[in-house]
Structure 1
Amino acid sequence: MNVAAITKLSIAMAIFGSIGFFTIHTGIPAVELVFVRCIFATLFLCAMWFLTGGHKTEAWSKKEVLQTCLCGIFLVLNWVFLFKAFEEMSISITISIYNLAPIFVLIFGTLFLKEKMTIQGLLATVVCFIGSVLIVGIENFQSIHQLMNSGFFWALLSALCYALTMITSKTVQNLSPYSMTFIQTAIGIIMLLPFCDFAVFNGLSTSNWIYIVGTGLIHTGFVYYLFFDSIRSLPTFLVSVLTFVDPVVAILLDIVLLSFSPTLLQALGILFIFGSIFYTVRPRKQVAG
């Protein structure tokens, strides 16, 4: 195993686990927050790219640049939907649904990559769905209006886009993590500029700006550099397992700092989801022939 890559991804996931806590203290809506994150991250990554001399040795490929742009679209949508979900639901509930992404990767592999769906994978998908119902609350599934207001769809869309980000990013092997990530965040600036309401930045406190800058430089620039630098050197199952560091940190912060207290059914739903995902992505011993 690549110890350096494992360490980088673990650190990235641990830091990203605090994104929900930072988000709710920024004082601005999802679209504007992602827009600012993209600006700070693009500047940070461009500066690091030049300072490290990476711009002198960059191996540009039109195909990989286009693949990176597509990955960037999914990544930015993932952020917007995740922050919209944070506005409607607790961090723990949002993160639990968001981490259905590995199950979606399994489903996409079956649908588009002609990978065989195993009985274990099908069972995990069903159990995860049951867990989602328990987390959000059965009463919220009685009408589309209730479900939309619960933030469930935003979290689910975020998980879908995160899964697509994971799949498309694996196709890029030659672009450096710096250039790959700043292309994606630059795409985010272009995508979100027409939809931003700049009036929301009026009257923000110093504390608000500290959290905003933190999400841009740390959670976006630094974390995604570590993320994309590490996943290309690790097998898919290990990437999926290490992403569990993110929800563990997020839920602990929600409980300790924001006094989140899940109901019995919500706690059962969280266990269903993470138990099924871990069962799905864990490495399996090869049977000798």
Structure 2
Amino acid sequence: MKGITYVLLSQICFALIGVFTKYISPSVDTFTIVFFRVSIAAIFFLILAAATKNIRQLSLKREDIRPFFFLGVMVAFNFVFFIAAFSYTSIVEVGLLCSVTPIFVYLMASKVLKEKITSMGVVALAIVIVGIYLMNSTGFESSHLMGNIFVLLSCVFAAGQVTYTKLEERDHTSLDTVFWPMLVASIFMSPALVGFSFSSVPLNIYMWIVLLGVVATGFSYLFFAKALEHLEAGKYSIMSVIAFPLISIIFGVGLFGEHLTASMIYGGSLLMLSAVIVHYEKSPLLNAGFVRMMNQKLLRILLGLRLKKY
């Protein structure tokens, strides 16, 4: 039960990124928001390490500089595209589109970690394409299209971050692989402060900025780590793929009156389904009979969908 609670808390914190950004973005540009987010998060993890007497875990060797720099740059690009997306599209669409991240991780792992792409993986990729099409079935000239593209780019960098972190965690602690990339990202994004006027931003906006760095970033990673103490990584991934879109829908519809169309439901459901398939394609449950059954059901679903505009 504790594991499930931590999963929900981590996804609530993560979904709050969209809420806080919607409040901040009218007064602060995307690059500055990202700078504050990663800087505050780095300070949060430094304080956490000191409070838990794990400051020695933040050791940095000379050979670590290059990989952590590379990881930090990926974090910066991931956050920039993710934050920018909320200026063009809704929290609901961002939440649903983020379901494709495991697919990108799957593709990168096949290249970097030499993991084999299976037939079910190919099926999942096909479902992703259909799901993304349905998500944009209101027209590719839609004002939300740019935001959706930013979300997908963010997912690509997030997948790279996850894959590269897997490599680094072989020789480093989890605290290492979070703190140093955040610090590097803050240095990388520091030019955003050039010309920024602190006095022109209302004080209440700074409150949202602090919450973005501490709650939506710091605590989301903390609850994520706590969840993995009680659950296997695969179970966490499945639960997060389902929980994050649902929580995003609640925030988007409940707080900002965003609309949830039929095309979003169809497309988002397919994206979540593809993520589930990727996670379970190596499970013993997926024997030949089960795979055939899944393929038949998916075929009926896809043939039953009308690719019309909503």
TM range (shorter): 0.7 to 0.9
Contact persistence 2:31–2:189 (CA under 8 A): yes
Contact persistence 2:97–2:151 (CA under 8 A): yes
**Cα distance in structure 1, aligned partners of 2:99 and 2:262:** 20
Aligned residue for 1:114, secondary structure, equals: coil
* Structure 2 residue identity aligned to 1:180: T
**Cα distance in structure 1, aligned partners of 2:143 and 2:113:** 31
CA deviation after TM superposition for structure 1 residue 53, in Å: 1.5
In the TM superposition, 1:156-235 aligns within 5 A as 156-171=152-167, 172-173=169-170, 175-199=172-196, 201-227=198-224, 235=232
Moved more, 223-232 or 188-197: 223-232
Aligned to 1:19: 17
Aligned to 1:249: 247
Aligned to 2:299: none
* Structure 2 residue identity aligned to 1:132: I
Aligned residue for 2:96, secondary structure, equals: helix
* Structure 1 residue identity aligned to 2:42: T
Cα RMSD for the two superposed structures? 2.9
Ranges in structure 1 where 5+ consecutive residues have no aligned partner: none
1:155 maps onto 2:154 in alignment? no
Contact persistence 2:88–2:143 (CA under 8 A): no
CA deviation after TM superposition for structure 1 residue 187, in Å: 0.6
**Cα distance in structure 1, aligned partners of 2:173 and 2:114:** 30
**Pair 1:247–1:65, CA change in 2 (3 A):** farther
Contact persistence 1:70–1:168 (CA under 8 A): no
**Cα distance in structure 2, aligned partners of 1:10 and 1:219:** 13
Aligned to 2:301: none
**Cα distance in structure 1, aligned partners of 2:57 and 2:191:** 34
Contact persistence 2:30–2:83 (CA under 8 A): yes
Contact persistence 2:19–2:251 (CA under 8 A): yes
Aligned to 1:126: 126
CA deviation after TM superposition for structure 1 residue 99, in Å: 2.4
CA deviation after TM superposition for structure 1 residue 15, in Å: 1.2
TM-score if structure 2 supplies the norm length? Answer: 0.79
Contact persistence 2:68–2:184 (CA under 8 A): no
Q: Which has the larger radius of gyration?
A: 2
**Pair 1:215–1:190, CA change in 2 (3 A):** same
Matched residue pairs, number? 282
**Pair 1:138–1:261, CA change in 2 (3 A):** closer
CA deviation after TM superposition for structure 1 residue 246, in Å: 2.2
Aligned to 1:104: 104
Ranges in structure 2 where 5+ consecutive residues have no aligned partner: 288-310
Deviations 1:191-244 (A, max 9, x none): 111244543644322331111110011122222244356659965533421322
**Pair 1:149–1:242, CA change in 2 (3 A):** closer
Moved more, 235-244 or 267-276: 235-244
* Structure 2 residue identity aligned to 1:94: V
Which runs of 4 or more aligned residues in structure 1 lie more than 6 Å from their structure 2 counterparts after TM superposition?
Answer: 3-6
Contact persistence 1:35–1:192 (CA under 8 A): yes
**Cα distance in structure 1, aligned partners of 2:249 and 2:236:** 20
